[in-house]
Amino acid sequence: MASAILSVRAFGTLSCRVVTGLRDRPKQVGWTGRGNSGLGETVDLVDEEWDIAAAVVVLAQLTGNQVLDRIPNGIADLVAAEHDEPQRFSKLPNRTKTFTLDDPALPMDYPGFVFRTLCKDGYDSKSLLAGTGLTAEHLKDPKFRTSFAPIRQFLLNAIAATGDQHLGIRLAWRFEPNYIGLPAYAAMNAAHFEDALVLLTRFFFLSFPAIDFSFPDAVSEKDEVGVRLRPKFPLEEITYFGTSSALIGCNGLFNAMFREKQVVSRGEMTIREPEGWAEIAEDIGFPIRFEASENRLIFPSELLTHPLPGGDPINHQRLLQLCEKFAADAEYETTLASRVLSFLETDGNLGTSLSLAASKLGYSERSMRRQLERTGTSYRILTDQVRERRAKELLTGTARSIQDIAYYLGYEAPSNFARSFKRWTGTSPMEFRDARRVRTELGQN
């Protein structure tokens, strides 16, 4: 039994939700696209074999085929794979794209705040922008996007100009929650804290696409719950700046939601404890443990069901609809490859087999392999991509042993990890760690 529910939302957004029990393996696929149809239809598909593909075909028929050019590739591939109708969808444009550090996808929300704040503090704007290719006009343009390299250079310039290695934290203290924009407003109007965190998990990328905000995240104590904040690519020399800014900024947002002085009980960061940490630690408001497996904010689980003082169901729905609109219009959308990457980046999943990963994501092994191949990748390539990135982060940002890192990355033996790492980088894990340590020491002198 499958059901396709077609409804019209605000701003002309067309939503289709497909739930199927094909082969007794329940799964749900969500899709939000753009359309102008005024239909409000419910269609029941009795034949199990129709599956998701049939629901999409019916959706197309109901709307006079006017939404076919907006169907995400993953859904279109399911139609072709399950019904052998590739011609029907063969002309669909590739509108989805996995976000990388080279893509011009980073907005000016936080860089613009940093620039304005430091200029007000008397620092020279030309020095801050030197070598970035950015201008003052770029940094106040809500539509401008850039890649990671100019932002990295700009933040390095800011650290050099101020001489403050804790600049990320000090600026985050001055970052008002409303600067986060639409996702923050929608979260603060949610009924309960848990609702707000779920919303931020969905829409945090609208303001900060380089940071993956994930809730819930498992922690060691059963009466606690955590939020994970993970960079989507290595931040290199600005790792401390970037991750500390994200943690302190989100801590400020949580405090604003509750209108309390302090909500978070403790935090964790993957990096080593920075030099001079003692001079700033007592002002953070909560203890932070370094050399952890993830960057986390942790708080009592009982807070999840607490009503938020700013909860407003009418404004929340309006703001949620705006978030959905901007997410639907975003150039960087979810693909099967990005879903697999997100799965692999979750603790404990890097050693997962293709068949088990496919099952957890709601696919057959054959279907997932085929769809990844059509986009020019594979489960092994994506696994190696995550392993390489995480390995570099752990080798340079923590003191964990190479053996421990190998097991954490899902390898059965450290020797297997060493061979893979040399294939990726041309050097051994130990040589890579030593070289980065020397580079860091030279940079500090």
Exposure of 188 by Cβ count < 10 A (0-12 exposed, 13-18 middle, 19+ buried)? buried
Distance between CA atoms of residues 75 and 367, nearest Å: 12
Same domain, 282 and 178: yes
Residue 125, in any domain of the structure: no
Same domain, 342 and 428: yes
CA distance between the termini of the chain: 67
Residue 66, in any domain of the structure: yes
Distance between CA atoms of residues 291 and 273, nearest Å: 8
What letter does residue 192 receive in the DSSP assignment?
B
What pLDDT does 347 receive? 63
Distance between CA atoms of residues 291 and 306, nearest Å: 32
Same domain, 286 and 186: yes
Same domain, 282 and 358: no
Distance between CA atoms of residues 287 and 293, nearest Å: 16
Same domain, 296 and 189: yes
Query: Which domain does 254 fall in, by range?
Result: 164-323
Identify the three-state secondary structure at position 352: coil
Residue 216, preceding bond cis, omega within 30 degrees? Answer: yes
Same domain, 274 and 417: no
Side-chain half-sphere of 327: how many Cα atoms within 13 Å? 21
Residue 97, in any domain of the structure: no
**Amino acid occupying residue 44:** D
Spell out a b/e string for 60-96, using b for 16 or more CB atoms within 10 Å of the CB, else e. bebbeeebbebbbbbbbbbbbbbbeeeebbeebeeeb
Residue 30, in any domain of the structure: yes
Residue 385, in any domain of the structure: yes
Tell which of 45, 69, 89 closes a domain: 89
What pLDDT does 12 receive? 29
Distance between CA atoms of residues 177 and 254, nearest Å: 9
Identify the three-state secondary structure at position 313: helix
Distances (CA, A) of 134 to 99, 126, 138, 239: 21, 10, 6, 21
Same domain, 238 and 288: yes
Same domain, 9 and 68: yes
Same domain, 189 and 301: yes
The reply to whether the predicted model has a pTM over 0.85 is no
Output the domain CATH number for residue 384: 1.10.10.60
Number of domains in the chain: 3
What pLDDT does 261 receive? 83
Same domain, 319 and 381: no
Tell which of 74, 89, 104 closes a domain: 89
Residue 103, in any domain of the structure: no
Residue 383, in any domain of the structure: yes
One pLDDT digit (tens) per residue for the chain, 445 residues: 333 333 322 222 333 333 333 333 333 333 333 333 333 333 333 233 233 444 444 444 444 433 333 344 344 333 333 333 333 332 233 333 445 666 777 889 999 999 999 999 999 999 999 999 999 999 999 888 888 889 999 999 999 999 999 999 999 999 988 888 889 999 999 999 999 999 999 899 888 888 889 887 766 667 899 999 988 777 878 999 999 999 999 999 999 999 988 999 999 998 889 999 999 999 999 999 998 888 999 999 999 999 999 999 999 999 999 988 888 776 554 567 777 887 887 767 888 899 998 888 777 888 888 888 877 889 999 999 889 988 988 888 788 899 999 998 989 999 999 999 999 999 999 999 888 775 555 454 4
Spell out a b/e string for 147-174, using b for 16 or more CB atoms within 10 Å of the CB, else e. ebebbbbbbbbbbebbeebbbbbbbbee
What pLDDT does 218 receive? 66
Report, in angstroms and rounded to the nearest whole number, the Rg of the chain calculated over CA atoms: 23
Helix intervals (H) in 300-444: 313-329, 336-344, 354-360, 365-374, 379-397, 402-408, 414-425, 429-444
Long-range contacts of 230-234 (CB under 8 A, 24+ apart): 230/294, 230/295, 230/345, 232/99, 233/100, 233/101, 233/148, 233/389, 234/101, 234/389, 234/392, 234/393
Residue 106, in any domain of the structure: no
What pLDDT does 70 receive? 39
Tell which of 69, 89, 109 closes a domain: 89
Nearest one of 57, 105, 286, 87 to 211, comparing CA atoms: 105
Beta strands 2-8 and 41-45, pairing class? antiparallel
Rounded to 10 deg, the angle between the 193-203 and 239-258 helix axes is 140
Same domain, 179 and 319: yes
CB contact at 8 A, 182 and 323: yes
CB contact at 8 A, 331 and 339: no
Same domain, 47 and 17: yes
